[in-house]
Amino acid sequence: MTQFLTAAFYKFVELPDYAALKEPLLAVCQQQGVKGMILLATEGINSTLAGPAEGVHAVLAYLRQDPRLADLQHKEAWSDKPPFYRMKVRLKREIVTLGVPEANPAKLAGTYVKPTDWNQLISDPDVVLVDTRNHYEVDIGSFTGALNPHIDSFAQLPQWVAQTPALNPATGKKPKVAMFCTGGIRCEKSTALLRAQGFDEVYHLEGGILKYLETVPPEQSLWQGACFVFDERVSVGHGLEVGDYGLCRACRMPISEADKLSPLFEDGVSCARCHAITSEAQKSGARERKRQWKLAKARGLDWVGASK
């Protein structure tokens, strides 16, 4: 059985020539049969790639030839199915959008905490634990006792930080804060946001939830549920084993086996979350895409829809 290697990585580093990096990097990925997404901005690089192991490692070696990326670290996982169907390299204003220029992780990021030391930190009653991810990610799993900002996008986090009483106590004394996210990039920027606002003791989980699930044995874990990932695996658990969640192709939200029992669920078309907010025309289009996919599969062809 073919095995696909997934590599996730990011680095906050000044890349003033980021636009010039796009085409050569895309060419290398295509030559190596690697697919996924790479985001480039003046503040750095953010990516998840998948493909044959030798191809993924070749792309990583190419990136590390740049002295600015020589110490680029990545996380690996394996799957039996291809996690991505296209290769894209996109130019962005930020590699993770927060919209707060002064939140510069290269200068203000909080203190890294190793996964093996994380339990001790978050068990401290004086620590405010914050999950920096979107609500649908938090819904399927999080650390015990973590605050859920209930945000739809990362760019909404600054407003939540400004309003939540736990981070703005009546005493005026800023608390000790621990923050986490999937792979480390959002919490790294989140800690920079807090430090820019005068928080002195700010910590974040090095390598994110994924590194914790890979490192900490289940019997010692304070993690509850599954961890949502932005690829065809949908979710992972301890040991980075692929979870049981599927993906609604209409709204891209995770769906459980119980969710599929809803009368509003139609595979590839809608789920209970999005059925009321998608038009009949959109549902008809989704049904046609599903029909085309089935035809291509029956003929032994790859079909991933129109490129964007």
3-state secondary structure of 236: strand
How far apart are the C-alpha atoms of 203 and 275, rounded to whole Å?
39
**What is the band of 298 on the pLDDT scale with cuts at 50, 70, 90?**
confident
pLDDT of residue 1: 57
Higher pLDDT, 188 or 81: 188
pLDDT digits (tens, 9 = 90+) for 214-239: 999 999 999 999 999 987 789 999 99
Catalytic status, residue 181? yes
How far apart are the C-alpha atoms of 16 and 66, rounded to whole Å?
13
Whether the CB-CB separation of 231 and 84 falls below 8 Å is answered with yes
pLDDT of residue 151: 97
pLDDT of residue 289: 85
pLDDT of residue 92: 96
Residue 43 phi/psi, 5-degree rounding, is -90, -5
DSSP 106-149: HHH--EEE-HHHHHHHHT-TTEEEEE-S-HHHHTTEEETT-B--
Paired residues of 179 in beta bridges: 130, 204
How far apart are the C-alpha atoms of 296 and 277, rounded to whole Å?
29
Catalytic residue among 29, 181, 248, 274: 181
Residue 271 region by backbone torsions, left for phi larger than 0, else alpha for psi between -120 and 50, else beta: beta
Residue with tokens 């600015």: 68
How far apart are the C-alpha atoms of 170 and 163, rounded to whole Å?
12
Higher pLDDT, 237 or 297: 237
pLDDT of residue 2: 66
How far apart are the C-alpha atoms of 54 and 32, rounded to whole Å?
8
Give the range among 231-235, 238-242, 295-299 with minimum mean pLDDT.
295-299
pLDDT digits (tens, 9 = 90+) for 27-84: 999 999 999 999 999 999 999 999 999 999 999 999 999 999 999 999 888 888 888 8
Whether the CB-CB separation of 222 and 119 falls below 8 Å is answered with yes
Give burial (CB, 10 Å; 0-12/13-18/19+) of 17. Answer: exposed
**What is the band of 303 on the pLDDT scale with cuts at 50, 70, 90?**
low
- Tokens representing 243 are 């979870």
How many CB atoms sit inside 10 A of residue 136's CB? 14
Average pLDDT over residues 158-164: 95
pLDDT of residue 306: 39
- Tokens representing 185 are 């990039």
User: How many angstroms separate the Cα of 70 from the Cα of each of 61, 65, 76, 127, 136?
Assistant: 9, 6, 18, 35, 35
pLDDT of residue 302: 63
pLDDT of residue 249: 85
Residue 98 phi/psi, 5-degree rounding, is -120, -35
Q: Is the pLDDT of residue 203 over 70?
A: yes
- The answer for residues whose C-beta is within 8 angstroms of residue 175's C-beta and 6 or more apart is 126, 127, 128, 166, 167, 169, 199, 201
Residue with tokens 């990039």: 185
pLDDT of residue 308: 31
- The mean of the pLDDT values for the chain is 92
pLDDT digits (tens, 9 = 90+) for 84-137: 889 999 999 999 999 999 999 988 999 999 999 999 999 999 999 999 999 999
Q: Is the pLDDT of residue 307 over 50?
A: no
Taking the model in full, what pTM does it have? 0.83
